[in-house]
Copies of this chain bind each other. A is one copy, B any other.
Amino acid sequence: MTAALKPDMLQTRHRATLDRALEAIRTREFWSPHPEHPKAYGETAGADGKAAFEALLGGRFELDQPGTDGYTGPTETSPYGIELGVDYPHADPDVLLPAMRAAMPAWRDAGPETRALVCLEVLSRISARTHEFAHAVMHTSGQAFMMALQAGGPHAQDRGLEAVAYAYAEQTRVPGQASWSKPQGKRDPLELSKSFTAVPRGIGLVVGCNTFPTWNGYPGLFASLATGNAVLVKPHPRAVLPLAMTVKAAREVLTEAGFDPNLIALAAERPGEGLAKTLATRPEVRIIDYTGSTAFGDWLEANARQAQVYTEKAGVNTVVIDSTDDYAGMLGNLAFSLSLYSGQMCTTPQNLLISREGIATDAGHKAYDDVVSDLAAAVGKLLGDDARAAALLGALVNPGVKERLEAAPGLGEVALASRAVAHPEFSGATVRTPVIVKLDGAKPDAEAAYMSECFGPVAFAVAVDSTADAVELLRRTIREKGAMTVGGYTTSPEVEQQIETACLEEPAQLSLNLTGGVYVNQTAAFSDFHGSGGNPAANAALCDPAFVANRFRTVEVRRQA
């Protein structure tokens, strides 16, 4: 086979980037090869990306996959009100899965470095089309354009590259060959030559989510591919396009590099088909990456017993507000965290725990009611202008979020009411500001509210008896409900220690005293871990050695030397 992408070309293009990524995951310093600024992609990138996206609408998305037995029909409606109308090929697993398995031996034999470099080429092709992906992510997730560009583009690409770096590192911990010589006293030593080969488990199934199709999809996708597995991508039916584009780009690169494109394929589903269940229990599927509801995550863990299952499920994120030396900074930081993408991030804080006795601040003592009303005012001010609000909030991703938002005032006293925001460009967009509801932490009916995930722009200001009470509630919330993030504000070293100990013991990822431009709901690849993998919100962290080390096995062949 003549490959257009030759190994030396891949080396020249990407080996230095791989090495830099390997260094970054060791030092955890800031690094990214993927620019965040829209203008970094070139003069015409904005217009070109928009045109490329629009050209896809209302048409068939062709993928030259084996086993295509029809089309899904359009399943996506933009949260901004426009019809996407894209029609995806539908696959017969009985044809597609064997074709994917047949593609694997050559990919295995290519070795960890070539696999990593091919993955980096895929990521660089996607990076070059960041504007096009931004529109696709925006109109499936409801993220505002700038967030769709950054979180759906460079940040997702960073998480993909991070997974490739971990996969490469773990696969190369043993040498390819070793000589073994065991002394036998006066006799000749026993001598063996040994070879070690990283081998894939099988087909990795990626079950995508509605809110972050690329960001949550790329780590598992690239981790499985880089460790030699084939990858089948089953997108959320409302967020197919960004992953279909990803699959198509990857198939093109694989072909150019001389590999079988069936190492990656799309499994789009027809409305109501429930395809994930069918695929998840196929014997060929040996790895599953899933982001979504706890109910289906639990189902996968219980039923897909032939596979390694990595799940990110629901959680309840807490911020303990004990005291601060920057009251205005704290309010501004929290207001932004609650508003970004209408609170539709798995990392958005939900429960703000505040002592009934109030808190000490640089602006004097603030009663519980003061803190809540000042936070409400900060959110109100942040989102006072419709155009600015829409650019921060994005749109509600689906009707379920709107229903929860509308039901929230019934849960307690409303400290800040949600309001509808007119979108400057898309009249059909459902844009809402967050609601803040006051709850008494001691009341059982309030507990039913704050001890459940209320996914969307709903925050609970929970009055507790003391900070010690808050830390105890934090601990119980993580243990019983899980948490992707924990925040804390305190000027007391003792309280800081208590919060930190709770997070070490449960375990959960903690951000302390954020008052500037870093938010509890944002993590940076190569430096921050997303989730701990040690509480009910997720059984894996993005990205650590455990996330990749069991996606392959090492086969040793011993020969007498």
With A532-B553, A554-B541, A555-B532 in contact, is A175–B27 under 8 Å at CB? yes
Report the minimal beta-carbon distance from A386 to chain B, rounded to whole angstroms: 26
A484 to B201, CA, bound (A): 17
**Chain B residues within 8 Å of A528, by CB:** 194, 556, 558
With A27-B175, A516-B190 in contact, is A197–B504 under 8 Å at CB? yes
A30 to B181, CA, bound (A): 6
Q: Mark A197-220, 1 if CB is under 8 A from B, else 0.
A: 101010000000000000000000
Q: Which of A108, A192, A305 has the most CB of B within 10 A?
A: A192
Contact pick for A27, options B178, B301, B529, CB 8 Å: B178
**Chain B residues within 8 Å of A25, by CB:** 173-174
Report the minimal beta-carbon distance from A65 to chain B, rounded to whole angstroms: 23
Any B CB within 8 A of the CB of A498: no
Q: B182, A524: Cβ atoms under 8 Å? A: yes
Scan residues 22-73 of chain A and give those whose CB is less than 8 A from a CB of chain B: 25-30
Of the listed stretches A311-319, A406-414, A506-514, name the one at the interface; the rest are far from the partner chain.
A506-514
* A166, closest chain B residue (CB): B173
Q: Mark A153-181, 1 if CB is under 8 A from B, else 0.
A: 00000000000000000100111001111
A180 to B509, CA, bound (A): 16
Of the listed stretches A6-14, A119-127, A542-550, name the one at the interface; the rest are far from the partner chain.
A542-550
Q: B505, A199: Cβ atoms under 8 Å? A: yes
Any B CB within 8 A of the CB of A302: yes
A180 to B31, CA, bound (A): 9
Q: A507, B555: Cβ atoms under 8 Å? A: yes
Any B CB within 8 A of the CB of A428: no
Q: Which of A501, A555, A559 has the most CB of B within 10 A?
A: A555
Scan residues 392-433 of chain A and give those whose CB is less than 8 A from a CB of chain B: none
Any B CB within 8 A of the CB of A358: no
Q: B560, A518: Cβ atoms under 8 Å? A: yes
Any B CB within 8 A of the CB of A533: yes
Q: A518, B558: Cβ atoms under 8 Å? A: yes
Q: A555, B180: Cβ atoms under 8 Å? A: no
**Chain B residues within 8 Å of A516, by CB:** 190, 560
Report the minimal beta-carbon distance from A458 to chain B, rounded to whole angstroms: 25
A-B residue pairs in contact (CB < 8 Å), sample of 25: A25-B173, A26-B175, A27-B175, A28-B174, A28-B175, A28-B180, A29-B178, A29-B181, A30-B181, A108-B504, A199-B505, A199-B507, A302-B305, A500-B557, A503-B555, A507-B553, A510-B555, A510-B558, A511-B558, A511-B559, A513-B559, A533-B550, A533-B553, A541-B554, A544-B549
The 4 closest A-B pairs by CB, nearest first: A534-B553, A28-B178, A546-B549, A546-B550
Extra 10 A-B pairs, beta carbons < 8 Å, given A180-B524, A503-B557: A29-B179, A105-B505, A170-B545, A301-B305, A504-B555, A511-B558, A511-B559, A512-B560, A528-B556, A541-B554
